[in-house]
Structure 1
Amino acid sequence: MNDDATPGTPLATRYPRLDALRGFAIVWMALFHFAFDLNHFRWIQQDFYRDPFWTLQRSLIVSLFLLCAGMGQALALHQQQTWPRFWRRWAQVAGCAVLVSLGSWWMFPRSFISFGVLHSMAVMLLLLRGAGPRLPIGACLLLGLLCLGLPSWVQDSFFDSRWSNWIGLVTRKPIAEDYVPVLPWLGVMLWGYALGRWLLQQQRGSFAAGLITGSVPRFLEPLATLGRWSLSFYMLHQPVLIALLTLAATMRT
């Protein structure tokens, strides 16, 4: 099933360039997770928690995902997405977030994912759906900047528990396999939302408008297809990789 398909309703207009960008993020994420899994099975030795080579990649991947999500919400607003359609999509994201928590708890009980990228997206989608249409583009940019800076200015130990660290104003990062709090990451999604709205407002046929509405070269079409199935791929790729590496480890011994 296409991630954006909803029974009984027509598909919204697709934007292949945005789909391809999302697909690129998916491929990058899968390669990152493959390396992480190789490290978990001790085929390689890397520090994914402190080595800047890996931590920077993680930040860039999450940023690209949230930027695409923000642009996607701008498109949903532009296409006058109905509330029932929004809630069905939101339920998919939130439901997958719960499955990620359960799966990570089974594999990493001491560092399971209580608030990762899907959890954060579920909260931020609600915020953008409610407040986004009322915010001018300039306000989105300023609020995004505030969100990015706030965790550096305001920190309190109250936010260090698993029940409150999802906000992001922590004094120390929790021990978790993935941690994407609302702050500062809401800032990235707000900037993506503002960028998407700005591009859609540009004159039809202009270079800026073409960045989001144009077609993609044939060699990028597989990325665009993958980007349309991003949530499905996200949920399936790690179980498949782990199963394959487990089988490989068994055959190796």
Structure 2
Amino acid sequence: MPRPSPPSKPPRLVVVDVARGLAILQMVAFHFCYDLDYFGWLHVAMLADPRWIAWRSAIVTQFLFLVGISMVLRGGVAAGTQAPVAPRADRRFWRRWAQIAACAAIVSIATRPLFGPRFIWFGILHFVAAAELLVVVAAWRTPPIRDTGTIAALAAAGAAALAIGLFVHFAPFDTNAWSWIGFAAHKPATEDFVPILPWLGVVLLGMAAGALWRRHAFVISPVLRCAHASGGIGRLPAFLGRWPLTIYMAHQPILFGVLFLLRLILK
């Protein structure tokens, strides 16, 4: 008996790559400013100024919303059909998840000597690894995303997670052992912190948007379609958006290393 062929890899949507690439460009710019501040060439309160905090939150929101969309797009059903949409825990998922988890561990190990007690122990990569596990486990016990009602329920769950994470806080959760859940009354002392709540809500809203978009056969606005057809301005973001994990892991060592060498030269 012939073996069943493995599921084909879902096609990439350039508009998603472009959106992810634009978020990557913002992330690199933000971290460049952070590094300039670290070396004393720029004096800003990035961890206290509401404007910098808002920009950082906007960047994280873009990334995690796209994580939700991508989880649905990897579900492997045809666009515009009534077939169920659900994240699959197949070999491809586990390979990708292992890469994210390994990179999260590397970030923690690398930032420990750099920042001491403020090292990154639950940043965005730690969150993505945890969130994708939670979503896949939940998918085993919940109905597939196949109709408008299910999509609406998913969006409602996302909105609820956002509201709970933003407005429900308890002082006993301030310890590092529990603050990652999202109920902490005070943000822990760390250079990057992305707790489960409220950020899981952004992922769920992204999944709802992705499922709705898939049901409508990936309709793209005429403006985006023309921009894609003309190439040019969207080419760089599209390229960057295909390599988010690689760029995330590489850009800070490169920026930090270049600025460190410049400081030695100009000292």
TM-score by length of 1: 0.89
The reply to whether residue 139 of structure 1 matches residue 153 of structure 2 is: yes
C-alpha contact (below 8 Å) 2:64/2:206 kept by paired residues: yes
Unaligned segments of structure 2, at least 5 residues: 1-5, 78-86
Q: 1:241 to 1:206 in 2, by over 3 A?
A: closer
Larger radius of gyration: 2
**Percent identity, aligned pairs only?**
37
Out of 208, 222, 237, the residue aligned to residue 223 of structure 1 is: 237
Structure 2 counterparts to residues 106-145 of structure 1, below 5 A: 106-132=113-139, 134=143, 136-145=150-159
Worse-superposed segment, 34-43 or 149-158: 149-158
Q: Which amino acid aligns with 2:261?
A: L
Task: Give the corresponding residue for 2:83.
Answer: none
CA-to-aligned-CA distance 1:205-243 (integer Å, 9 cap, x gap): 84469979x955412122111111010000000000000
C-alpha contact (below 8 Å) 2:123/2:194 kept by paired residues: yes
Q: Which amino acid aligns with 1:230?
A: P
Q: In 1, Cα distance between the equivalents of 2:219 and 2:166?
A: 39
Q: 1:124 to 1:47 in 2, by over 3 A?
A: same
C-alpha contact (below 8 Å) 2:21/2:239 kept by paired residues: yes
Deviation at 1:110, TM superposition (A): 2.0
Structure 2 counterparts to residues 80-91 of structure 1, below 5 A: 81=88, 83-91=90-98
**SS of equivalent residue, structure 1 residue 109:** helix
Q: In 1, Cα distance between the equivalents of 2:46 and 2:60?
A: 15
**SS of equivalent residue, structure 2 residue 180:** coil
Task: Give the corresponding residue for 1:44.
Answer: 42
C-alpha contact (below 8 Å) 1:168/1:184 kept by paired residues: yes
C-alpha contact (below 8 Å) 1:15/1:215 kept by paired residues: no
Structure 2 counterparts to residues 154-233 of structure 1, below 5 A: 154-202=168-216, 204=217, 206-207=219-220, 215=228, 217-219=230-232, 220-233=234-247
Q: In 2, Cα distance between the equivalents of 1:166 and 1:128?
A: 17
The reply to whether residue 28 of structure 1 matches residue 34 of structure 2 is: no
Worse-superposed segment, 185-194 or 73-82: 73-82
Out of 64, 67, 91, the residue aligned to residue 65 of structure 2 is: 67
**SS of equivalent residue, structure 1 residue 166:** helix
Q: In 2, Cα distance between the equivalents of 1:11 and 1:240?
A: 32
Q: In 2, Cα distance between the equivalents of 1:186 and 1:205?
A: 24
CA-to-aligned-CA distance 1:83-137 (integer Å, 9 cap, x gap): 1111001001111111111111121012111101010111111122232463521
Q: 1:205 to 1:180 in 2, by over 3 A?
A: closer
Q: 1:13 to 1:244 in 2, by over 3 A?
A: same
Q: 1:60 to 1:152 in 2, by over 3 A?
A: closer
RMSD, matched Cα: 2.3
Q: Which amino acid aligns with 1:218?
A: G
Q: In 2, Cα distance between the equivalents of 1:32 and 1:9?
A: 38
C-alpha contact (below 8 Å) 1:105/1:112 kept by paired residues: yes
Q: 1:215 to 1:50 in 2, by over 3 A?
A: same
Task: Give the corresponding residue for 1:237.
Answer: 251
Deviation at 1:154, TM superposition (A): 2.7
C-alpha contact (below 8 Å) 1:16/1:216 kept by paired residues: no
Q: In 2, Cα distance between the equivalents of 1:193 and 1:11?
A: 19
**How many pairs align?**
244
Deviation at 1:11, TM superposition (A): 4.4
Q: 1:82 to 1:115 in 2, by over 3 A?
A: closer
Q: In 2, Cα distance between the equivalents of 1:210 and 1:13?
A: 22
C-alpha contact (below 8 Å) 1:145/1:187 kept by paired residues: yes
C-alpha contact (below 8 Å) 1:201/1:209 kept by paired residues: no
C-alpha contact (below 8 Å) 1:17/1:216 kept by paired residues: no
